[in-house]
Chain A
Amino acid sequence: DQQVKQNSPSLSVQEGRISILNCDYTNSMFDYFLWYKKYPAEGPTFLISISSIKDKNEDGRFTVFLNKSAKHLSLHIVPSQPGDSAVYFCAAEETSGSRLTFGEGTQLTVNP
């Protein structure tokens, strides 16, 4: 069963506009969530994270929102830049766990 799901395989946005990437999870034991960015032929690079005790975390152009009751999180990028074009993975971790559970990824394309 897919415990972390990213239902949009791709997203295309105009430069300067907002990009919103969504992620849903089913495991209520997850309490730490991360977003990773991946360029072709490279490993995933950590972007931003959020603990379940928060509902928002902001870092520059990147903001992650967490809705625990809906088991949903989203990553907002504003303003979007062409260099943001990459695959974005949502990942989740249990407090007592030692592994990350990843979603399938969303390919973001930011058009100049």
Chain B
Amino acid sequence: GAGVSQSPRYKVAKRGQDVALRCDPISGHVSLFWYQQALGQGPEFLTYFQNEAQLDKSGLPSDRFFAERPEGSVSTLKIQRTQQEDSAVYLCASSFGQAYGYTFGSGTRLTVV
């Protein structure tokens, strides 16, 4: 596709439920990032992939958060045993590489009730 596609657009989860958020990057983009944006804040880095290799996961807030990109294309961000503080917009971005700029998807708004 022409842009970065994220699904679902909206997700409501009961506290304790596991969720999986999907990101389809722009075809050929090597780098893929996940960011978390809380209400009224700027996006905060979660994790970074170069092809299938997860090179940086230092932004993941707890071991309940897990991301994968097994074939170097589609990525999934999984959150286990969701908590209310996980409520946020989760943004995915992809790029050909560091010097080429980043294209963001529209995000998945997760609400934990």
Contacts and interface: CB of A to CB of B under 8 A. Distances in A.
A44 B56 contact: no
Interface residues of A, number: 22
Given A100-B45, A101-B45, A43 B55 contact: no
Given A43-B106, A44-B91, A105 B55 contact: no
Report the contact-size class of chain B (Cβ under 8 Å from the partner): 20 to 34
B59 A99 contact: yes
A104 interface: yes
Given A43-B4, A45-B104, A46-B103, A99 B42 contact: no
B104 A98 contact: no
B32 to A, nearest CB: 11
B55 to A, nearest CB: 6
B45 A46 contact: no
B101 to A, nearest CB: 5
B1 interface: no
A1 interface: no
Nearest to B49: A98
Nearest to A98: B48
Interface of B: 4, 31, 33, 35, 40-45, 48, 50, 55-56, 59, 91, 93, 98, 101-107
Interface of A: 4, 6, 34, 36, 41-46, 49, 89, 91, 93, 98-105
